[in-house]
Amino acid sequence: MNQLNNAFTLFLSLLVEAIPFLLLGVLFSGLLLFFVDERKLIALMPKHPLLGALMGSLVGFLFPVCECGNVPVARRLLLQGAPTPVAVGFLLAAPTINPVVFWSTWTAFRDQPEIVFWRIGLSLAIATIIGWVFSVQTDLRPFLQPAIARSLVEPRTDPAKAANDSTHLLQSGTFLLGQPGKVIRMDTAGLAAMAAPSITTKPLADRLQLLLENTVQEIRELGSVLVLGSAIAAIIQVFVPREVILGLGQGPISSILSMMLLGGVVSICSTVDSFFALSFASTFTSGALLAFLVFGPMIDLKGVGLMLSIFKPRAIFYMFGLVSLLTFLFTLFINLHVS
Amino acid sequence: MSVNSTSRRRKRRQPWGSGSPPAWLDAMALSLWGILFLKYWLNGKLNILIHPNYMWLTIAAGIVLLGISGLLLFKVIQKLKLQPASSSMGTSAMGTSAQHVTLFPPIWSSSLLVAIAILGFVIEPRAFASQTAIQRGLTDSLTMTRAKAQSFRSAARPEERTLIDWVRTLNAYPEPDAYTGQKVKVQGFVTYPPASELPDQYFFISRFVITCCAADVYPVGIPVKLSQSRSAYKPDTWLEVTGQMITETLGGRRQLTIQASTLKPIPEPKNPYDY
């Protein structure tokens, strides 16, 4: 009973600490998505594959979205003609390279600031490398879901059609529109709003309405994943014998592999995953914590589910392979030579 | 067009069907969490859960959550006033066009959030006790990776040092003999480490240190030497121990130990952690 109460206290403490950051991430990303036109952003992207991948990775700083928000944005970037390295770099880096994640990681690892910088640095490096690798595939269409590939093929000469397409994609992307709140939007204003070519050109009132819906929806989705993730962390902490955890957590290789596995399964949002990692800070190697913090936001169960809405499984498999290998090698290097 | 129809097809394959939860359920989830956060703040339980530096974040989040749920409710009521006849299940034309690719059906998510918030009201969080201290590895040294005190001033007079001050001092200069004879007055709770490590007349006076939230609290402690068996002081009893420092060899290791002269029971502090 005592153990159960401990687990519950731990669970609550994770939630109490993490939910403010979750809220911040959701509100921030919602605001930017509704008030920044990413098409203008794409025009600024360099054409060089390596630079493009780097810029794509860095652009996440403008879109503080975690791994649920980045997939719809990456999809829109692709559809609006962003070069492949930009879109792939963004897809992989955006969940980590952003101010909210930086702050929450700093909060959690205030005693080990190197973790924060390693996290940012490694994520940036891995995303850029993979973005660069993907630039070899000049025609990305074989990697994409047929629906998306087809719309890439369509000539963009007819602006009305293009706008129309992207509108539908926005809808099925659902990040912006979601399942429209049945109770909330039954008026035609909502319909009219959805037919508008870009979200940023809609009237302010509609945008605010969409922002509210988007916020509630995101809190619901991300919040429930956070609840489950925190529960898993608390249960492992309290109920798995310390010797088992230490046995896994102190080996330079086993610790990294187990944390990568955990990062892939737990799917906790990147704005708050540092608190999850924190609960393992005393038992796992720094490299393993980093592996969790770098790998989790790029590849996890929830993220793969979302990525399947853009890519064919083959492409996701390549990304998974590259991300895993790079994360493993980098963090192993840290375990063996740095910490 | 084709994209849209594909997504519809995909959606239809999803076993849980469509539909977001009713707005009132979301509003309820948000407001319950908001109230819960503010309740923890007002009744002081936030002290048990997180480091004081971050409490304002939780409080602000509580207020924001209440604000969002207020807006949501306002919208619901507005809608009801506009169309009193239509049922709250009325779907807009786009109701089917958009579906999150989610791990769970949205209604589960909302219900989960509501259920956990209610649990939060029912079950009181409690500060960790000696059992956790043992499980998490009670030592007189700070875990290697953390709490390397960046700036650390130890109180000039040894008897003014808290338990954590002592542990930090010891980490900075670990030779126990250096402190022999210094006066000690520290507060903490009693922990019995496994019998193999400590003879019967010793226990640990211990405390948890928190850096962020209860997930990362770690225990520190210093052995206390009594003149008789420790059985008079049950684990988890909060004590103020006065005495002086000596060096003892315990479990094959020379350790700084408190030779207790008085042990005064104290109530559990409202804020049980140290920083």
Mean pLDDT of chain B: 78
What was the pLDDT predicted at A184? 32
- Pick from A198-207, B37-46, B86-95: least confident: B86-95
pLDDT in tens, A40-66: 777 888 888 888 889 888 887 777 666
Reported for B172-181, long-range contacts at CB under 8 A and 24+ positions apart, including other chains, are B174/B141, B176/B245, B176/B247, B176/B254, B176/B255, B176/B256, B176/B257, B177/B247, B179/B245, B179/B256, B180/B245, B180/B246, B180/B247, B181/B244, B181/B245, B181/B246
What was the pLDDT predicted at A120? 93
- Pick from A215-229, B23-37, B75-89: least confident: B75-89
pLDDT in tens, B250-265: 877 788 899 999 999 9
For residue B75, the chain A residue with the least C-alpha distance is A184
What was the pLDDT predicted at A323? 95
pLDDT in tens, B110-169: 999 999 999 999 998 888 888 787 777 776 655 433 444 444 555 567 888 888 888 888
For residue A285, the chain B residue with the least C-alpha distance is B145
Q: Are A92 and A60 in contact (CB under 8 A)?
A: no
ipTM above 0.85, yes or no: no
Give A30's contacts in chain B (Cβ within 8 Å).
Answer: none
A127 confidence band (pLDDT: 50, 70, 90): very high
Using the Cβ of B100 and the Cβ atoms of chain A, whether some distance falls under 8 Å is answered with yes
Using the Cβ of B122 and the Cβ atoms of chain A, whether some distance falls under 8 Å is answered with no
B242 confidence band (pLDDT: 50, 70, 90): very high
Q: Are B195 and B214 in contact (CB under 8 A)?
A: no
What was the pLDDT predicted at B40? 94
Neighbours of B268 (CB within 10 A): 12
What was the pLDDT predicted at B84? 60
Give A232's contacts in chain B (Cβ within 8 Å).
Answer: none
What was the pLDDT predicted at A197? 46
Q: What is the mean pLDDT of residues A144-151?
A: 79
Can you tell me the distance from the alpha carbon of B247 to that of B249, in angstroms, rounded to the nearest whole number? 7
A198 confidence band (pLDDT: 50, 70, 90): low
Q: Are A248 and A258 in contact (CB under 8 A)?
A: yes
What was the pLDDT predicted at A182? 34
What was the pLDDT predicted at B148? 45
pLDDT in tens, A261-302: 888 877 777 878 888 888 788 788 999 999 999 998 898 877
Q: Are B214 and B220 in contact (CB under 8 A)?
A: no
Q: Are A110 and A278 in contact (CB under 8 A)?
A: no
Pairing of strands B202-209, B273-274: parallel
For residue B7, give how far its alpha carbon lies from the nearest alpha carbon of chain A (Å).
6
Q: What is the mean pLDDT of residues A185-199?
A: 39
Of B30, B101, B123, the CB nearest to A306: B101
Residue A84 has pLDDT above 80, yes or no: yes
Using the Cβ of B19 and the Cβ atoms of chain A, whether some distance falls under 8 Å is answered with yes
